[in-house]
Amino acid sequence: MAENRTEIKQREYLIGDMSEIVGVSRDTLRFYEKKGIIKARKKENGYRYYLEEDLFRLMVILYKRKMNDSLEEIEGYIKGENSVEYMKKHLQTRIKQEEMKIHYHQQAIARMRLATKDIQMAEQYGGKCTWKNFPVAYQLGVCDSLHASLQKWFSLSSETGGLDMTYFYTEFSIKEGQMQEQGTKLFLYQEVGPFISSDFHLEQYPQTAPVPCIYTILESENIYPDEETACQMVRWGKEQGAEPTGVLYSNNMTSFLGEDSNIYFLELYMPVK
């Protein structure tokens, strides 16, 4: 048995054989050689070959690559420190890095789901009035104007990952068919909470109540809703036997950017008594 094990260890593999067994290209093997990660031996006729021990070496290297270790990292602990303590610290660091990547991708998916939901709502309720509860959300701030809320948004999103998913709800008072801007509130939907960085404490912010509202979506080239649409919502609500409170919230839930002009899909909520 010992003789067989010795014979296996001395078995030789040409670069083509090694490429087929390991599942990487010849160029990749040559690149690994240049990096000093593996070493090929040469026959008298100039052919390069590998031994069984190189298979095990490549197995370890490829496994580490599956852990998203870079070649520079692999090269570093092959040529440098290669202790148990070093490897333990390295793995702890890499786990944190991968967890951050997962969280980042989860945030990206959450953004796409929000955008998909917004588009579906625009498709379903564009130009139509219906009933919808005001969204349950964290109120992250109140600004004097939409412009000021944009500045607040840039500040929040640069400081904490995920707060870019905050929406702007501009409040208008409606009296005798006239609209008056009252300021803009920044809302983060409750459903998005799990995707916000854990060091940001959402529980300290007040939450909205799911009050019943007259609801519609306005497609417009203007970032603000028009008074005619507001009046139509009031009329529709009264036809349904409801009495509007005289407040309208406008949320630019999604935008289509063009070369000369933009199209805004304004989500309009009008609470009723």
Tens of pLDDT, residues 128-147: 999 999 999 999 999 999 99
Q: Is the pLDDT of residue 80 over 60?
A: yes
pLDDT at 29 (0 to 100): 93
pLDDT at 104 (0 to 100): 94
pTM, two decimals, is 0.80
Residues 17-38 have pLDDT tens digits of: 999 999 999 999 999 998 888 8
* Average confidence score pLDDT of the chain: 92
pLDDT at 10 (0 to 100): 63
Cα radius of gyration rounded to whole Å, the chain:
31
pLDDT at 1 (0 to 100): 46
Cα–Cα distances (Å) from 200 to 69, 104, 155, in that order, read 30, 15, 14
Domains of the chain: 10-81 (1.10.1660.10), 100-269 (3.20.80)
